[in-house]
Structure 1
Amino acid sequence: MTRTSYNTEKSRLEKEMAKLQKKIQTLQAKQRKPKITEIVRAMRQYDISPEEIVAAFSRKPAGRAPGAAPRKTGTAAKRVIAPKYRHPETQATWTGRGKAPRWITDAEAAGTPRDSFLIAAESA
């Protein structure tokens, strides 16, 4: 059995992949034509204009089918977190989540406890 080089094998596979992609496109075209014909027939039967289709297509769906999986949105709503710490001089704030800001870490390195920056402690 002869050994084929990486480039030869890659080239062969890329050609095969291109042939398969072309077959997929042909199959999709064959499947689409009857559906498009069916849609156009229904539009004519019910006197539906293309503008109505565009308007309906761009409209958000009114409701989901019962038992359907919830649709995920691209952007999730973020909650605003109230700040927990405030720098007394610069009034810079930090929620207490994530990496501590430099003014907190510098103060802790100098020996000031983090609790001394608590916002609740200021109003008490």
Structure 2
Amino acid sequence: MTRDTYAALQLKIQKEITRLQKQAQALQSKQRSPVITSIVRSMREYDITPEEIASAYNKKKPARPATRPARAATAAKRTVPPKYKHPETGATWTGRGKAPRWISEAETAGKSRDQFLIKR
């Protein structure tokens, strides 16, 4: 059994790729011919000009509808009222996400978060 070199193997593969590409092109052109004939027949039947086809082809395609709404879009529509308020500065916090510095510092100083609750 002979041992092929890398270059020889690469050359064989390139030839095979070229042969397969030519085969694919021949198949595509064979399948395209009846489609083109059908299009031309329809154009003649409905009196459609090539310019009309070109203008319809160049129109912008409509965007595909999303299968489900994005979360960010729906979340941005609702605002959450503030739950906590700093008595001196008037800064507010909804109670969601990371606590603001003024709440963290007050808790470190021994105060309760409940002292900053907005009474409704």
Provide TM-score, normalisation by structure 1: 0.50
Q: Which residue of the partner structure matches residue 26 of structure 2?
A: 26
Give the 5 Å matches for 1:19-98: 19-62=19-62, 64=64
Aligned-pair RMSD on alpha carbons? 1.7
Structure-2 separation of matches of 1:42 and 1:49: 11
Residue 55 (structure 1) shift: 0.3
Structure-1 separation of matches of 2:5 and 2:63: 56
What is the aligned-residue identity percentage? 51
Residue 61 (structure 1) shift: 2.5
Residue 60 (structure 1) shift: 1.1
Between structure 1 and structure 2, the one with the greater Rg is 2
Provide TM-score, normalisation by structure 2: 0.51
Structure-1 separation of matches of 2:14 and 2:23: 14
Amino acid at match of 2:43: M
Deviation readout 1:57-100 (Å, 9 max, x if unpaired): 00112464x677xxxxxxxxxxxxxxxxxxxxxxxxxxxxxxxx
Residue 2 (structure 1) shift: 1.4
Following TM superposition, the consecutive aligned residue runs of length 4 or more in structure 1 with deviations greater than 4 angstroms are none
What is the number of residues matched between the two proteins?
A: 67
Structure-1 separation of matches of 2:55 and 2:29: 25
**Where in structure 2 are there 5+ consecutive unaligned residues?**
68-120
SS of structure 2 residue aligned to 1:38:
helix
Change (3 A) 1:63 1:47: farther
Structure-2 separation of matches of 1:41 and 1:31: 16
Structure-2 separation of matches of 1:36 and 1:58: 19
Structure-2 separation of matches of 1:47 and 1:35: 18
